[in-house]
Structure formats: structure tokens, C-alpha cells
Structure 1
Amino acid sequence: MCRGLEFATLGSIALELSLDTLVQEELGEKPYRTIDGDVKLGLLILCDHAQNRIPEDFHTLGLRPEDLHRHTAFDLGAEGVTRFLAKMLGAPAVISQFSRLLVDPNRGLDDPTLIMEIADGLVVPGNVGLSAAAREERLDRFYRPYDDAVGGMVGAAIDAGRPPVILSIHSFTQAWKGVPRPWHTSVLWDKDPRLPVPLLDGLKTIPDVVVGDNVPYSGQLKGDTLYRHATARGLAHALIEVRQDLILGEQGQAEWAAHLARVVSGVLQSTDGLNTIEYHGSHTGI
């Protein structure tokens, strides 16, 4: 873990905050959570893979409890980082409240990995041979409400005269197939450089942190959340990945949120043209 939080005010908030002090609402079947924030800030934070929650009527999709704690079910630590970051910056956020194994909100409707029968070698019995009707039920119950919530907050910000920068928070595993991943954090992006380039520059100022650029995944994914809500609408955007072993506990989540808050705040204040609509297209075609 990197040491020495540079942004003192946010750093102290991060270390004092506990997720237990943040507003906890009774979600029931609600497939997303929103955090209120200042639309004038010009920033919307998303967390697509926040939870491993699978409602009881899906019978864990036939998986063992331990399978639901793997990276294939959700992005460990990402929700905590998102909530701390939103609190520190006073920014609105939309956070999914269902496992990506049910349906992946960060995929397009025609993506073959939208509902995975096999996830990183793990067969998901409840997804095998899924009927068209069952697929539509999942889309209506989970995917579309989350997608509509994101679209609604984006539209409200645009209507208020402040097209938002969209920042999506994810996490990645420390190793893949036995090969260690050296990066502590990474920025994924497509063709629009407005947000990712200054983000990369800012993240590289964090002492003892290795920053990746479009690794271990690519930000060029047609139909994903940022494609649908940012690329297609001409909004500046980026996806930040943080390595999971750094954010498994609340202290790590708070520390990394403080790092991101300092960098993001600096980028928002010093970069021209972020809150304007500019169509840069996509390497995947648009």
C-alpha cells in the first residue's frame, strides 16, 4: 500500500469515515443505489460491479457460497471506494446492487458475455440453457433499471446545463493464471482523451504506485456502460481500476478513495473542456 496521503483534508476524512456512517437504505429488490451529490460539480461516479447479491429466488444460480466471493461475481472493494469517493467529492453516484453473474450491466445487449454460462472456468448452472423469457426477465429486473438510473442522472445533469464527466470504478485481481499483475491502478479508455490523459498524469504523481494504461483490460468495449452513456453522448469519461488486494478492507478503500479524490479534483479544476459535449467516436465503431 502506498503511504503518505498527499491531499490532507480528504485524507483525514478518508481515515475517519466508516461505511457504517454512510446512509444505508433498505433496498429490497431495488437493483441499484444512488448517492446524492452536487450536480454543479460536473461529475457522476458509477460502480457497475459493486455487489455479489443474488436474490433468494435464483437459488445462488446453483453456485456454492464461496463462488460468490470470487472476482467473477463482483469487483471486490469497488463499492467501498466508490462510496468514499462520492462522499469526499460531494459527487452523485449510481451503484449496482446485483451480481454480474445474473446479468452484467457493463455489457451491451448483444454481447455474448452479458449472461455467462461459464465465468473464468466456473460453470454457472443457473445460466445454462436460459430461455429467452428468463433472459428478458433478468434484463427487466436488473439491467434496465440500473441502466435507466444512470441515464436519468446523466440526462438531469445535461438538462441543468452541466454535462457530467463520468467516472466508473472497478477492481482487478492481483494475479491472473498465476502471473502477478504489477499495476496498483489503471485507467481504461477508448478514443476520448479529455479525462483519461490528465487522470493518468495525476495518478503517476502518487508515490510508489505503478499506473497502467488500458491494462489489464481495454476500455474499448462496444456497448458497455461508458459506451452507452458517455461515448454515445459525447461526454468525457474514464474507467479506473484498482487492484483488489489494496482495497479489501475499509482503510484501504478509504486511502485509495483519497488518492483518487485528490487526482480527480485536480483534473476537474485544471482541465478545460471536460463539461462540454464532444463526439470523439470509438475504436469499436459508433
Structure 2
Amino acid sequence: MTALDAQPAIITLHEPPVIERNVSGASPFLLTCDHYGRLIPDALRDLGLPESERQRHIAWDIGIAGVAERVSKALDAHLIAQRYSRLVIDCNRPPDVASSIPSVSEATVIPGNEAISQAEADARRRAIFEPYHRRIKEAIDGRLAQDRPTVLISLHSFTPVYAGIARPWHIGTLYHRSTVLPHLLLSLLRDEGDLVVGDNKPYAVSDLTDYTIPVHGEARGLMNTGIEIRQDLIADEAEQTQWADRLTRMLREIETALITPQSSYA
């Protein structure tokens, strides 16, 4: 047991878990951002972590919020993002896997996650995970009911060094069963000439390690891809703007090439 063992079975949030932009946006792209924020509910007492750890990549996807906001505005695309730290509950993990509420992230022990009860885990899921994914489902339901083209883009960032191993990629596309959009995006990224591009790097999507793409993309038959940008390349506003501009240009090209009234969007 830890000093944080008496966690509440009902969690009160000081900010709603879901943040949205351009809810009525005209773009066929639906943007999601599972690790947009790093808030921690007051009742969890910072999970026993100092601020230095809560600022690190273990707590959120550094830099991706600024990129996501800019791409959403430029494309007039609906963005659905999640404000709370992935250390509270990871909204891109199935809730029944150990990494959903990690007791260790990279080499950092998370005291507030050690030996939590099922009731405590369920409280986090109800407060944060379920509202976020319910909102994504509702948005897709509404778009499909209106026969609107819908392409899911899941935006993430990754640390340049993990567990002592350097990652050379500047950006990667992530996918599993749906390959049309990721492969087209890979080709456009490689054509840029100045990028080291990852094909399912630094991660590959799977049903065991991911949630957003398998559940909201693949299970719904939507064209989809994950995008991972290295965090040291989007550390400030100028870099976030540069990458958002680059992605916006490519996504517009993809829209012209693939997203037509005759397309199945799958």
C-alpha cells in the first residue's frame, strides 16, 4: 500500500475531460488527441509525483496540443481532445490492460497508481475515459447519419529518447488494418526530402495496445491513421506552427486525392 491508498470511488473533476474545437467544421477529417493535457484531479494529490515528473512525456504528449489546435483551425476540422494526464488513465489503452493506469511509466514509479482498487480504477474510467470516447462515438454517429465523409486522424507525439534508446524518426504514421491513408501519407512525407519518416514507428497500432483507432476507426469502417511527431521538434509555438502547416498542406492534398463522393472512406 502507498500513502495514496485512500482514493475516492467517485472523482470530482475541476475541468471537464473533453475539449472540442470546430464542432461544426466542414472538413471530412475528425481529429482526436488522446494525450492533449496533463491535468490531475485534485483528489489524486498529483499521484504523489513532483512537478518535474508531471511535465515529462510520461504525463502527456508534449507539443501535440498546439499542433492539433492549429490543424483543426486551418482545415476547419472537428477536434476532440482529452485534458487529463495519461497517468490518471490512458485514453488510448483498453481499460482492462495494465498500461491503462500504469504503476511504472518508463522508469518512474507512480505512487498514486500502486495497488489501487478496482473501484478506484472504475472511478477514473467513468470520470475521464468514458466521456471522452462517448463524445468521439457521438460525433461519428452524427456525421454518418448525415452521410458526411469521415476520416479519423489520431494525433500524438513521442519522446526522442525512450529507456535510453534514441529514436531517429521525425514523424511516423501508425496503423493496423486500414492502410490506404497511412501509406499515402507516408509517401507525401518522404517526398518532403528533409524528414526521417517512420512506417508504424515508433509504435504500431494493435487491439491490445491501442483504443482510439481500433474502436473508432477500424470497427466503424473509417479511413484512419495515427500520426506521431517527435516532441523536440514541436517544443515551442513556432515549431508547432511549422508542423501544423506541413500537415495541413498534406491533408488537403489527401482530401483532393481520396475523399470524393464516390469514395467509401474505408
For normalisation by structure 2, the TM-score amounts to: 0.90
Kept in 1, the 8 Å contact 2:59–2:85? The answer is yes
Query: In the aligned structure 2, how far is the partner of 1:38 from the partner of 1:262?
Result: 21
Name the counterpart of 2:203.
217
Name the counterpart of 2:93.
107
Name the counterpart of 1:181.
167
Query: In the aligned structure 2, how far is the partner of 1:129 from the partner of 1:37?
Result: 39
Secondary structure (helix, strand or coil) at the match of 1:183 reads coil
Letter in 1 for 2:197: V
Is 1:255 the counterpart of 2:232? The answer is no
Letter in 1 for 2:240: Q
Name the counterpart of 1:129.
115
Name the counterpart of 2:6.
none
5 Å-filtered alignment, 1:5-24, equals: none
Name the counterpart of 2:3.
none
Query: In the aligned structure 2, how far is the partner of 1:206 from the partner of 1:61?
Result: 42
Name the counterpart of 1:68.
54
State the Cα distance separating 1:39 from its structure 2 match. Answer: 4.9
Query: In the aligned structure 2, how far is the partner of 1:125 from the partner of 1:28?
Result: 22
Percent identical across equivalent pairs?
Answer: 34
Query: In the aligned structure 2, how far is the partner of 1:87 from the partner of 1:275?
Result: 25
Query: In the aligned structure 1, how far is the partner of 2:96 from the partner of 2:124?
Result: 15
Query: In the aligned structure 1, how far is the partner of 2:191 from the partner of 2:251?
Result: 12
- Structure 1 unaligned residues grouped into runs of 5+: 1-26, 279-286
Letter in 2 for 1:74: W
Query: In the aligned structure 2, how far is the partner of 1:128 from the partner of 1:43?
Result: 38
Query: In the aligned structure 2, how far is the partner of 1:79 from the partner of 1:167?
Result: 14
State the Cα distance separating 1:163 from its structure 2 match. Answer: 4.0
Q: Render the CA deviation track for 1:233-285: whole Å, top value 9, x for unaligned.
A: 1101000000000001011001000010011110111125796254xxxxxxx
5 Å-filtered alignment, 1:48-67, equals: 48-67=34-53
Name the counterpart of 1:168.
154
- 1:265 pairs, out of 248, 252, 259, with 252
The alpha-carbon distance between structure 1 residues 177 and 28, as it changes in their structure 2 partners (threshold 3 A), is closer
Kept in 1, the 8 Å contact 2:25–2:76? The answer is no
The alpha-carbon distance between structure 1 residues 136 and 37, as it changes in their structure 2 partners (threshold 3 A), is closer
State the Cα distance separating 1:219 from its structure 2 match. Answer: 1.7
Query: In the aligned structure 2, how far is the partner of 1:52 from the partner of 1:133?
Result: 23
Kept in 1, the 8 Å contact 2:63–2:157? The answer is yes
Letter in 2 for 1:224: Y
Name the counterpart of 1:5.
none
Name the counterpart of 1:233.
220
Secondary structure (helix, strand or coil) at the match of 1:268 reads helix
State the Cα distance separating 1:190 from its structure 2 match. Answer: 0.5
- Structure 2 unaligned residues grouped into runs of 5+: 1-12
Letter in 1 for 2:191: T
Query: In the aligned structure 1, how far is the partner of 2:130 from the partner of 2:40?
Result: 16
Secondary structure (helix, strand or coil) at the match of 2:57 reads coil
Name the counterpart of 2:264.
276
Kept in 2, the 8 Å contact 1:45–1:166? The answer is yes
State the Cα distance separating 1:179 from its structure 2 match. Answer: 2.9
Kept in 2, the 8 Å contact 1:103–1:138? The answer is yes
Query: In the aligned structure 2, how far is the partner of 1:121 from the partner of 1:217?
Result: 19
Name the counterpart of 1:18.
none
The alpha-carbon distance between structure 1 residues 123 and 178, as it changes in their structure 2 partners (threshold 3 A), is closer
State the Cα distance separating 1:109 from its structure 2 match. Answer: 2.2
Secondary structure (helix, strand or coil) at the match of 1:45 reads strand
Secondary structure (helix, strand or coil) at the match of 2:191 reads coil
